[in-house]
A and B are shown apart, each in its own frame.
Chain A
Amino acid sequence: MLVSMNWLRKYVDLGDITPEELAEKITKSGIEVEGIEYVAGKPENVVVGYVASCEQHPNADKLKLCQVDVGDETLQIICGAPNVAKGQKVAVAKPGAVLPGGMKIKKVKLRGVESNGMICSLQELGFDEKFIPQDAAKGIFIFPEDTPVGESVIPLLNMDDAILELDVLANRSDALSMLGVAYEVAAILNKEVTLPDESVAFAEEKATDYISVNVDAHDLNPYYAAFMIKDVEIKPSPLWMQNYLMAAGVRPINNVVDITNFVLMEYGQPLHAFDYDRFGSKEILVRRARDGETMVTLDDQERKLTEEQLVITNGAEPTALAGVMGGANSEVHDGTKNVLLEAAYFDGASVRNTVKMTGLRSESSTRFEKGVDPNRVKNAGLRACHLLAKYAGGTVLANAAEFDQLDRSEKTVTVATEAVNERLGTNISDEEIGEILQRLRFPYTKDGSVFTVQVPTRRRDIEIFEDMLEEIARMYGYDKLPYTLPAGSSQAGGLTDEQQLKRKINQFLQGIGLMETRTYSLTNDDRIHLLLSPEVKEQNPVPVQLHMPMSEDHKYLRLSLLPEILASVSYNLARNQQDIAYYEIGSVFISDEEKLTKQPKEQLRLAGAITGKWVDQPWQQEVKKVDFYVVKGIVEGLSELLQVPVSFHQDKVDGMHPGRTALLKIGEKPVGFIGQVHPLLARKMDLKETYVFDINLEEVFTAYAKQLAYHSIPKYPSITRDIAFIMDKEVQAGAVLNYIESVGAPLVKQVRIFDVYEGENLPEGKKSVAYSLLFQDPEKTLKDDEVEERYKEIVEKVNGQFNTYVRS
């Protein structure tokens, strides 16, 4: 809402408060003032001039040579505006004037002829072109004939005005009108409100002889008044009205349209003016549209209607979309003589429906949507009649045709001083509350310390005690509220086990050099099916799709964190950042429903991607690219940190390198995978050799919870034995390790691989893998021969199982 301070002064005495001071006060007590704009500069030496003569420039086709009377002298001015003519009153910048754009006016010669000033357009005076009347936008601005010559244009064009931009939130629709703002400002400044003149000298002739009003949809249209104004003269509205409309961001058009817009802004009540002679009947019928019915609106668009929309008809066909837009066929035009003026109350939800279906949101529809004041509908009509009689020479007929089932009753809210202080933590007195209510102009009765407040209908937002509490608090001032802390029950706050674990995992990963990322949960057609972890894929998830996505890129809820993380990696590669180690903890969204009937399962996962160098110390000849075992090491580290045993199983996953991928399991449960992104996919995503991991964190949390028990530290010493097996290349070193662990139990506590060798000195197709076995007995000190015996047994079993032999 744009509020002109000069306009506001018509209702409230603002004294000499500056726009900045007023803005601060309004903001602090309820409605945020987002900015202050000044209408234009305040140039000196720009005055009203009378164009005494206007002839062709002798040496230029497009220039006119004018003699302009500016009161104390007559100036010869050359003007290039197409609409300049003899007899006009115009804005003249005299020599010495400085225009808002910085242009200095001097005496000059144009094509050999002297020019002593400039005839200005509104744009040249600093007005925003979009608010200037259409005629004036094309050339210079022409003042009304009765404007005194020689007077400064500053007050005439309202150039000394400041506009406050109010951010009016949904609850304060009352402030979408100058009167509403006036009540608010009057309450803040403790001033009176002067109401506009609504007096009308009615003719004897009755409106009801010209028009009747019938309403079919009482619920959507409880009040409709049709005023009849005869013999209007269409012409520009008075300059002051045009000025205020421009300040409010409304383009002046002609007196009738301007008056309806002016009253809209003044009262917050939309009005609509029909050309009576084009209306097509003597009957107004308000009803729901019929499915498939059409009408052509003011903007010359044909609109297809449904039963959800309310229309104004002439009994036969629609002439307006109620509260939204009029029809082209009954529009007021230059030749309009008789005006049919509508002042009505339309249901907000119905107007919102029409706006949604047509996309036509206007100053009018916005006010209906948020709700207009039922006690101001007819008054707004009367105010418009008053102005139409005054500025359009119209004759207002008596007895508007009305349909009236409008509820105008006021709510009452009870407020006890004690309750106010209990809730606010304050010590406000009865007197202070009484004074605040008076400033707000809320009538009340008082019984002891209990106020029964009658809430004016302009404040539709106030219904219950808490609403009244807010009124009192904001007028009292939040600055005066004390600082206290809750006195109630104290409890220890904290994180849940899983939240703590998540932090621990974050710290671990960051500690070993991974960077946490945040990617979008919404993804596109290409990425939604990429790199799904096998145990996710096994559930045959149906991607959860948005009903109305904003873009193709953010359409589905992700099933894997990896595609977006990889896209981030790729983004960095493109910026010459080669070594990236990223991870993210976040949810994927799993559902098997084609159309959701319940929320999808949100599963917390940990995923990451690493590319480039892992070790980078070239001058010591130590440069190591990331490989499978880096990623595996990370998962093993995590497993070690949380004491959750994770096992690795060679497997294939779509989009992954077929020979360099492992499935992760906790116990028998698949929980994710690691490996190298398939080179073809990597190429498609503009990646280099990249390794990834993806783990279901919820399974990790579950396993962690089971592990939480104390294991005593072994008391007796351990013995280590090393052994190298020669085996076929195809044999998995890990399989042998697992086997040793199982046959070695319970004495073998740990098996480690410390050397892998292929090549010279070994037969073709063989490799040597060296294992280190740690023996320990929790009950006693182990003896060498015991270990030796168990060791031999293990070697024999391994040789038998895997067709290996021991390297001597």
Chain B
Amino acid sequence: MKEQLEQIQKEALEKIAAAETMNELQEIRIAYLGKKGSLTAVLKGMGKLSKEERPIVGEAANNVRQSITASLEEKTAQLEEKMMEKQLEEESIDVTLPGRPVRVGGPHLLTSIVEEIEDLFIGMGYEVKEGPEVETDYFNFEALNLPKNHPARDMQDSFYITNEILLRTHTSPMQARTMLEYKGVKPVKMICPGKVYRRDTDDATHSHQFTQIEGLYVDKNVRMSDLKGTLSIFAKKMFGEDREIRLRPSYFPFTEPSVEMDISCKVCHGKGCNVCKGTGWIEILGAGMVHPKVLSMAGYDPEVYSGFAFGMGPERIAMLKYGIDDIRRFYTNDIRFLKQFHHA
């Protein structure tokens, strides 16, 4: 019987090795391990064996069963892998065909710039205020130390609707509005982005409508060095850590002292080139210490409170950052322009 078992094992393993389909393997399983299979038949004949022989043959038969079973399993796995390979090969596609388009929209470049600046100042504890685009003469001019007949105030530059109502020429009216809201006691720390309007003929560098961001900080003991420190942080975050700032005296009726802030030229780092017109510096914004008349008109005692204010143009910043040559691009909405700033 031992020989018989060995024969069965040999035969079965050879057949398994030769099998190529799952069906064949199934047939082999039935032929050897099934109820009517040859190994089963041998085991059935064990009753005729002596008591001594029985466990020996039993063990041998078991080994054969295990060997065949293991071989079947191994082969099954092999065949499955092959089938899978074949199926996957059939499922192969042309990956160079175009993908299903996902629509990609995006922000307007000015929104990106404004939000970047907003977030920067929010990080420094500023709140964002928005005000009316149609302003009163009082808030647009008078409350900012620009009384009627002031030489810096030219009717020709503003879009008036009536003698007392006009389109705001800057977002600075929110200085006075916010200070009045805070009633002369609370510190004020705000920026105000928004649309502003000037009586200009539209060309590459002028636009009758543009954007401005005003900033205001009023508290006790605010110093001009605080303005310089704040603007320096802004410039480095906005334009790069390697940029230097410089303050230059200027004139705005609502600040005293007034300054213009330049940043060092990205191209030449201060040596002078075409981009900076040979000066090494590029003008970015106007700023200054809030004029005592502006403070007192808005209910803050200039003997107790001081503050600084600054104002900048996102169009100009965007034009400098990206080398845009024509301010009208921001308002014609050419899709080929807008799409370039998806990522901005």
Residues of A near any B CB (own CB < 8 A): 24, 27-32, 35, 169-172, 348-349, 352, 356, 369-370, 422-426, 464, 466-467, 469-470, 473-474, 478-479, 481-496, 499, 503, 506, 509-522, 544-551, 554, 557, 568, 571-572, 575, 577, 580-582, 586-587, 589, 595-600, 602, 614-617, 619-620, 622
> Could you tell me the distance between the alpha carbons of A572 and B259 in the complex, rounded to whole angstroms?
42
- Whether A483 touches B228, Cβ cut-off 8 Å, given contacts A170-B151, A620-B100, is yes
A-side contacts of B105, CB under 8 Å: 509-516, 581
Of B115, B199, B334, the residue contacting A572 (CB under 8 A) is B334
A-side contacts of B133, CB under 8 Å: 521, 587, 589, 602
B260 at the interface (CB under 8 A from A): yes
> Could you tell me the distance between the alpha carbons of A494 and B118 in the complex, rounded to whole angstroms?
9
> Could you tell me the distance between the alpha carbons of A382 and B115 in the complex, rounded to whole angstroms?
60
Of B149, B223, B257, the residue contacting A422 (CB under 8 A) is B223
B204 at the interface (CB under 8 A from A): no
A-side contacts of B246, CB under 8 Å: 28, 478-479
> Could you tell me the distance between the alpha carbons of A705 and B54 in the complex, rounded to whole angstroms?
87
> Could you tell me the distance between the alpha carbons of A470 and B256 in the complex, rounded to whole angstroms?
7
Contact B229 A484 (CB under 8 A): yes
Q: Which of B224, B229, B253, B330 has the most CB of A within 10 A?
A: B224
Contact A423 B333 (CB under 8 A): no
> Could you tell me the distance between the alpha carbons of A648 and B339 in the complex, rounded to whole angstroms?
32
Of B132, B224, B233, the residue contacting A602 (CB under 8 A) is B132
A-side contacts of B75, CB under 8 Å: none
B-side contacts of A520, CB under 8 Å: 208-209, 331
B321 at the interface (CB under 8 A from A): no
Give chain A nearest CB distance to B141 CB in angstroms.
14
- Whether A169 touches B225, Cβ cut-off 8 Å, given contacts A466-B291, A473-B257, A545-B161, is no
Instruction: List 13 A-B pairs, Cβ < 8 Å.
Output: A171-B152, A356-B155, A424-B223, A481-B225, A491-B125, A493-B122, A513-B104, A516-B105, A572-B334, A575-B336, A577-B334, A615-B101, A617-B98
Contact B187 A491 (CB under 8 A): yes
B-side contacts of A369, CB under 8 Å: 151
Contact A486 B257 (CB under 8 A): no
B58 at the interface (CB under 8 A from A): no
A-side contacts of B230, CB under 8 Å: 485-486
> Could you tell me the distance between the alpha carbons of A600 and B162 in the complex, rounded to whole angstroms?
12
For the complex with contacts A515-B108, A521-B197, A602-B134, 20 further pairs of A-B residues with Cβ separation under 8 Å are: A28-B248, A35-B277, A425-B224, A426-B225, A466-B256, A466-B292, A470-B258, A473-B224, A481-B247, A510-B105, A512-B105, A515-B105, A515-B335, A516-B105, A518-B333, A520-B209, A522-B208, A544-B161, A572-B335, A596-B162
> Could you tell me the distance between the alpha carbons of A499 and B123 in the complex, rounded to whole angstroms?
16
Q: Which residue of A has the minimal Cβ distance to B258?
A: A470
Contact B135 A599 (CB under 8 A): yes
Interface residues of B in 203-218 (CB under 8 A from A): 208-209, 217
Contact A600 B134 (CB under 8 A): yes
Give chain B nearest CB distance to A746 CB in angstroms.
38
Contact A550 B199 (CB under 8 A): yes
Contact B151 A546 (CB under 8 A): no
B-side contacts of A600, CB under 8 Å: 134
Q: Which of B134, B159, B208, B249 has the most CB of A within 10 A?
A: B249
B7 at the interface (CB under 8 A from A): no
> Could you tell me the distance between the alpha carbons of A423 and B288 in the complex, rounded to whole angstroms?
12
Contact A482 B225 (CB under 8 A): yes
Instruction: Tell me how many residues of B have a C-beta within 8 Å of chain A.
Output: 89
Of B97, B121, B208, B335, the residue contacting A577 (CB under 8 A) is B335
Contact B225 A492 (CB under 8 A): no
Contact B335 A619 (CB under 8 A): no
Contact B338 A515 (CB under 8 A): yes
> Could you tell me the distance between the alpha carbons of A620 and B221 in the complex, rounded to whole angstroms?
69
B-side contacts of A514, CB under 8 Å: 105
Contact B247 A486 (CB under 8 A): no
- Whether A474 touches B249, Cβ cut-off 8 Å, given contacts A518-B110, A522-B208, A546-B161, is yes
- Whether A506 touches B107, Cβ cut-off 8 Å, given contacts A481-B225, A496-B128, is yes
Of B97, B106, B161, B197, the residue contacting A515 (CB under 8 A) is B106
B250 at the interface (CB under 8 A from A): yes
A-side contacts of B110, CB under 8 Å: 518
Contact B306 A423 (CB under 8 A): yes
Interface residues of B in 136-190 (CB under 8 A from A): 136, 149, 151-152, 155, 159-162, 165, 167, 187, 189
Contact B132 A516 (CB under 8 A): no
B-side contacts of A545, CB under 8 Å: 161
Of B151, B225, B229, the residue contacting A348 (CB under 8 A) is B151
- Whether A619 touches B97, Cβ cut-off 8 Å, given contacts A493-B124, A518-B330, A571-B332, is yes
Contact A599 B111 (CB under 8 A): no
B219 at the interface (CB under 8 A from A): yes
Contact A494 B127 (CB under 8 A): yes
A-B pairs, 3 with minimum CB distance: A513-B103, A425-B225, A470-B257
Q: Which residue of A has the minimal Cβ distance to B229?
A: A483
> Could you tell me the distance between the alpha carbons of A215 and B132 in the complex, rounded to whole angstroms?
47
B-side contacts of A509, CB under 8 Å: 105
Contact A550 B125 (CB under 8 A): no
Contact B228 A571 (CB under 8 A): no
Q: Which residue of B has the minimal Cβ distance to A619?
A: B97
Q: Which residue of B has the minimal Cβ distance to A371?
A: B151
Give chain A nearest CB distance to B211 CB in angstroms.
8
Of B124, B125, B134, B306, the residue contacting A599 (CB under 8 A) is B134
B-side contacts of A169, CB under 8 Å: 250-251
Give chain B nearest CB distance to A33 CB in angstroms.
9
B-side contacts of A544, CB under 8 Å: 134, 161
